Amino acid sequence: MLKVENISFGYTSKEVLKNISFTANKGNYIAVVGESGCGKSTLLEIIYGLLHIEKGSVYWNNEKLLGPNFKLIPGEDFMKYLPQDFDLMPYITVEENIGKNISSLNPNKLQRIQELLEVVDMSAFLKTKVKNLSGGQKQRVAIAKVIAKEPKVLLLDEPFSHIDNFRKNKLRRSLFKYLKSKHITCIVATHDTTDALSFADEILVIRDGNFVAINSPEALYKNPKNAYVASLFNEINEIPLSKIDLKSPSKDTILVYPNQIKFVKKSEIKATVLTSYFKGSYYLIEADLNGEIIFFEHFEKIQLGSEICLKLIKL
pLDDT digits (tens, 9 = 90+) for 134-175: 999 999 999 999 999 899 999 999 999 889 888 888 999 999
| Per-residue pLDDT tens digits for 196-209 | 888 999 999 999 99
Q: pLDDT tens digits for 280-311?
A: 999 999 999 999 999 999 999 999 999 999 99
What are the chain's domains? 2-224 (3.40.50.300), 237-312 (2.40.50.140)
Model confidence pLDDT, tens digit, residues 11-30: 988 899 999 999 999 999 99
pTM of the shown model: 0.91
Question: Rounded to whole angstroms, how far apart are CA atoms 142 and 122?
Answer: 11
Average pLDDT over residues 86-108: 92
pLDDT band at 86 (very low <50, low <70, confident <90, very high): confident
189 has a pLDDT exceeding 70? yes
197-207 b/e (C-beta count within 10 Å ≥ 16 → b): bebbbbbbbbb
Can you tell me the distance from the alpha carbon of 96 to that of 145, in angstroms, rounded to the nearest whole number? 10
Check: CB of residue 188 under 8 Å from CB of residue 33. no
Residue 122 and residue 141 in contact, taking contact as beta carbons nearer than 8 Å: yes
Q: Strand pairing of 210-215 and 17-24?
A: unpaired
Quick one: pLDDT at residue 71?
Answer: 83
Task: Say how far residue 188 (Cα) sits from the centre of its chain.
Answer: 6
pLDDT given for residue 245 in this prediction: 80
In a 10 Å sphere around its CB, with 0-12 CB exposed, 13-18 middle and 19+ buried, how is residue 305 labelled? exposed
CA 203, CA 214: separation in Å to the nearest integer? 6
Is 80 exceeded by the pLDDT of residue 246?
no
Q: In the structure, what pLDDT confidence band is assigned to residue 315 with cuts at 50, 70 and 90?
A: low
